[in-house]
Every structure is written in C-alpha cells, then in structure tokens.
Chain A
Amino acid sequence: MVSYYDEIEIEDMAWDPVKRLYHYPCPCGDRFEISRSQLANYENIATCPSCSLIIRVIYDLVRFLFFPSSVPGTCSNNLLYFSR
C-alpha cells in the first residue's frame, strides 16, 4: 500500500500561475506539486522534488473538468486543453 504523508483538498492548495501547477507545503520546506493536466488526467498524487514524501490530492474531477471557472487557477487555456 502506498503511504501518503497526507491527503489534501485542492481548496487548501495554492495555484502557481507561472509554473501552472497547484502546490502545498512539504514539511521539508519545498512543496508538493501537481499540474492541471495531471489532475485532468485522473492523476491525484502530488510529489515533492526534494523528498520521498507524497500527498494525495482530493478534488472533484467532474467539477474540475466541466465547471473550470469554479476551480482556482483556471483560465481560458482550459478550452485549448480539452480541444486538443
């Protein structure tokens, strides 16, 4: 069984508009990161680049895919993503 450091709701994560990913503090001082495309791809494990620790991201996939304006960090690029 995979051991998660924590399970974090997406509302508690911050959005980085430059790197275009969601992040959450890791206890090492770095941050757990997961991109929008990973989330849209049903992936939910955010990893820390400096650590072995991982978190499971809790989010509503339906809301994320079909009501993007209700999710932080979403913008018109969303349409591009789904029309690819």
Chain B
Amino acid sequence: MPTLLSAGSNAQGQLGNATIDDSHVFQTCSFHGCQRGTLPPGTSKVTCVSSGANHTLVLLERNHDSHSLQPSIELWGCGSGIRGQLGPAFRSQTSFFQPIQLPLKQYGLDGYSYKAACASWETTYIVLGCQGRGDVLVSMGANDFGDLGVDSKGKGNENSHAIHIVSFDHLVVKGRRISSDSVLVKSISTGQHHVVVHLHATLTDASTQSLLVGWGTCRHGQLGTTATSVNKRLPVQTFIPVPKLILVNEPDSDVTGVSLGSQHTVILHASKHLTSLGSNRKGQLSGLQSLSNVHDIACTWNGTYVMVGKEAGGCYIFSGGSNSHGQLGHTEHKTGYHDSPIHAAVELPEWLPTSMVKRMVCGSEHVLLFTQKQNNQRLESEVWGWGWNEHGNLGLGTTTDVHIPIRIWPRTEEEQNSAYIVGGIWAGCGTSWLYLED
C-alpha cells in the first residue's frame, strides 16, 4: 500500500505521525479514522504536500468506490490550527491528519474542487477549480504581513473564523481590467510572508494575458519595485496587503517556475532565463540573471539552487547564498559562516549523473533531490539531501549538518528491495516528506 513518510521538526504535530516529538528518521504519517500509518482507503495518489511554520496540508486523490471514474481530491491537514490556518472550523492542534472541511457553499463555491494547496508561515492558500468557470483563490489563517491578500484593516487583524477570497479585480493590465471569472491559477508559490501567483486571465477586451502577481512582505524588493522604493521620501512600506503586478525582465516569455526564499524571489521564464528580485545580502541572487539554459529553480530561505543544462547534455546544480549549515552542498566553504554567490556546483558523486535528477525541492534550510535510473528493467528511485539537519530532518538518524549530498532514501537493504518507488518529495520548515507508491 502507498504510504506518506515524514521526518524532522515536529513541535506542534506538523509531521502528522501521531506524536509531537521530532523524528530523526522517516516515519509513516497517520490519518484520522485510518489504521496507524496507512493512507485513507481508496487513496490513489498524494498530489501535494505543503507546510508552513507548524502546519501541513496534503491533497489526496481518492476513489471512494470502485465504480466512480473520476477520483475526488481531498484536503487534509495537521499541526497547529490556532491562527485559523487549518480552516475556520478547527482552532486547536492535531498530531495526525484530519480532513479539512471548508464552508464553500456559504461563499457560493459549491461545485468547486481542490486544485492546489500551499502554505506560508501561518497562512494557507487553496486554489479551487470548477468546470467552465474561473479559478478561485482562497486564503485563511494569520495576516501579520498582509499574508491573506485581502484588504483587512492591517497587520495582525484577521478574522480566523472566515475564509477569504483573494480578488484580482483591481489589477489593470495595459489599461484594461481583468474579468475576474476568467482567471486561471497556473501556480502559487509562497515564502515566509510573501506569495507569488502565476495567472492566466482574460482582459475586458477579450485578450488573454499571462500575469505574475504577489503580495505580503516587500521591504527588500521581493515583490519588485514599490512606490516607496522609488520615492525615498515616503516611509518604507513593509508589506503589500492586496495582489500587485510583478514586472519581470522578459514579459513576453511566459513564466515556467517561481521559487521564493525569505526575502527573495526567483522567476524562471520559458526562455530559460531568470528574473531575480529582493535581497542579495547572502549572495542568493548574485549572477542569476546572467545564466541561460536554466531548467529548474528552488529556493531555501537564504539560498538559491539552479539546474543549468550543459551543452553536452546533463546539467549542473549551482548553489548560492547562505552556507552556515552546509546548505550549498559543496566543500569549498565547509567551515565557518561564509556566504557564496552562484558559481560553485553542488558536489554529487561521480556515479550519480545529474541527468538522473528528476526533481529538486528546498526546505527552509535543507535541499532534497529525487533521482531515477533504469536498472535491469526496474526503475530505481532515490532521494538525496544535504544542509541543515538539527531536527533530524534529513531522516538519517542523526542531527548533524550535512555538507555534501548524501543518499537519504533508501537507507537499508529492506528499503532498497521493497516494491515501492518514490512518487513524490517535499520539504518544509525543518521537515522532509516522501510519498512511496507501488
């Protein structure tokens, strides 16, 4: 049976393993009403895991009975719901996953289903879709830095008993407004307290436009230039409470990836070039905009990781930013508090060509790679990781930082010979997640 595994920091039950103790090895997650360690019956896939400070959201694809052709998507959550981040109905803490019921009918959203779920620090974002209608973006939870994206009366002033519908109606593109029921959410990415959403929207003149919008913290320019960063006489704005358009270097090249750190934003274009915004205090943006042939990007809070294709095939994984806990994955600056601009490649073992790397994800201060190779007609999948490991978040059974990539799954012969393959990897604030499927 497929399983979801987690390791790392667990102060408020965000690992969903029915305890509130840190786990230094990967353990199975528990779901309400299900046998310990198993996914709810009929689950055919875990499509998304996203975690904030102390809460985790998962989307499960489930067939309730064998006759239904269309699987339904369910939203489950665990950890802290104190600020309303697990929905208005749940205001406490849970160490195992519980289904999240949202009062969609009350907001005229019946018939909508879950498309994506994403978490920032103590806030949750849900993308809802409905056949023949535009997508709806819902936010709930804390609003310390305008995180909700709705114009409530300022910092910390949130109604935790409500869900909020983020509106894009006020945006003006090329002098034209967006028809709000035409919006399609292509992706949503979150940092600590800022959010970037990639939209496809129809304007009032019936033309379709690809847009990047963001809100939340903006002091370091992570949402692009603001009125106060142009006019120095205005007081510095710490956050933007409603979505604003983000201007990119290549407006004609569509956005294919967005990744956010704590104070920076990196945008990947279809042209395989990057736009970088925000703080470069630790060298996390140095050299990024001069790179070409970029395949994938990921950001830790204070670092940027870029997969750049080689002319001869395969690719490099370049890293830049804070290296205080071995996050950059190379030995050059092994000791001490050194930050590095993007110029050194992550040191993977020679026998692990980067062509095998299928996916790269970043937690707050650690990085995971998902690799696949064909071995005698058997697909072998592995997970590699490095970086900050104080909470055992690499699942190695230790709490020492890892400076050079190390294989974190499978670890034992038993795991190696099991019939399961890794179907997905995710990482959060000192947490790592593996989904094993048949």
Q: Does A27 lie within 8 Å of B121, measured CB to CB?
A: no
Cβ of B391 < 8 Å from any Cβ of A? yes
Give bound CA distance, A51 to B392, whole Å: 12
Cβ of B346 < 8 Å from any Cβ of A? no
Q: Indicate whether A27 sits within 8 Å of B54 (C-beta atoms), given known contacts A12-B217, A50-B9.
A: no
Cβ of B365 < 8 Å from any Cβ of A? yes
Give bound CA distance, A72 to B430, whole Å: 29
Q: Which of the four size classes fits the interface of chain B?
A: 35 or more
A30 contact set on B, CB distance < 8 A? 9, 11, 53-54
Q: Give the distance to chain A from B419, nearest Cβ to Cβ, in Å.
A: 33
Q: Classify the secondary structure of A's interface with B.
A: loop
Give bound CA distance, A6 to B324, whole Å: 9
Q: Does B9 lie within 8 Å of A28, measured CB to CB?
A: yes
Q: Which residue of the partner chain B has the closest CB to A9?
A: B219
Q: Give the distance to chain B from A5, nearest Cβ to Cβ, in Å.
A: 6
Q: Does A28 lie within 8 Å of B429, measured CB to CB?
A: yes
| Cross-chain contact of B121 among A15, A17, A25, A72 (Cβ < 8 A) | A25
- Chain A contacts with B in 1-54, Cβ cutoff 8 A: 3-6, 11-12, 14-15, 17, 25-31, 50-53
Q: Which of the four size classes fits the interface of chain A?
A: 20 to 34
- Chain B contacts with A in 200-227, Cβ cutoff 8 A: 217, 219
Q: Does A12 lie within 8 Å of B219, measured CB to CB?
A: yes
Q: Does A53 lie within 8 Å of B390, measured CB to CB?
A: yes
Q: Indicate whether A27 sits within 8 Å of B337 (C-beta atoms), given known contacts A3-B324, A11-B219.
A: no
- Chain B contacts with A in 343-361, Cβ cutoff 8 A: none
Give bound CA distance, A28 to B12, whole Å: 11
From A29, A51, A72, residue with most partner B Cβ within 10 Å:
A29
Q: Does B337 lie within 8 Å of A29, measured CB to CB?
A: no
Q: Which residue of the partner chain B has the closest CB to A49?
A: B11
Q: Does B156 lie within 8 Å of A27, measured CB to CB?
A: no
From A3, A5, A17, residue with most partner B Cβ within 10 Å:
A5
Give bound CA distance, A53 to B428, whole Å: 17
Q: Which residue of the partner chain A has the closest CB to B51?
A: A29
Q: Which residue of the partner chain A has the closest CB to B142?
A: A14
Q: When each residue 52-84 of chain B gets 1 if its CB lies under 8 Å from chain A and 0 otherwise, what string results?
A: 111000000000000000000000000000000
Give bound CA distance, A27 to B52, whole Å: 10
Q: Classify the secondary structure of B's interface with A.
A: loop
A25 contact set on B, CB distance < 8 A? 53, 121, 192-193, 262, 429
Give bound CA distance, A53 to B263, whole Å: 18
Q: Give the distance to chain B from A55, nearest Cβ to Cβ, in Å.
A: 11
Q: Which residue of the partner chain A has the closest CB to B53?
A: A29
B302 contact set on A, CB distance < 8 A? 6
Q: Does B429 lie within 8 Å of A27, measured CB to CB?
A: yes
Q: Give the distance to chain B from A42, nearest Cβ to Cβ, in Å.
A: 23
Cβ of B236 < 8 Å from any Cβ of A? yes
Give bound CA distance, A14 to B264, whole Å: 18
Q: Give the distance to chain B from A75, nearest Cβ to Cβ, in Å.
A: 14
Q: Does A27 lie within 8 Å of B145, measured CB to CB?
A: no
Q: When each residue 304-342 of chain B gets 1 if its CB lies under 8 Å from chain A and 0 otherwise, what string results?
A: 000000000000000000101000000000001100000
Cβ of B97 < 8 Å from any Cβ of A? no
Q: Indicate whether A3 sits within 8 Å of B337 (C-beta atoms), given known contacts A11-B238, A12-B219, A29-B54.
A: yes
Q: Does A27 lie within 8 Å of B238, measured CB to CB?
A: no
| Cross-chain contact of A14 among B9, B144, B301 (Cβ < 8 A) | B144
Q: Give the distance to chain A from B226, nearest Cβ to Cβ, in Å.
A: 14
B435 contact set on A, CB distance < 8 A? none
Cβ of B388 < 8 Å from any Cβ of A? yes
Give bound CA distance, A31 to B11, whole Å: 12
Q: Give the distance to chain A from B107, nearest Cβ to Cβ, in Å.
A: 28
Q: When each residue 137-174 of chain B gets 1 if its CB lies under 8 Å from chain A and 0 otherwise, what string results?
A: 00000001100000000011000000000000000000
Chain A interface (Cβ within 8 Å of chain B)? 3-6, 11-12, 14-15, 17, 25-31, 50-53, 72
Q: List 9 A-B contacts (CB under 8 A).
A: A3-B336, A3-B337, A25-B429, A27-B363, A27-B430, A28-B390, A28-B430, A31-B53, A51-B391
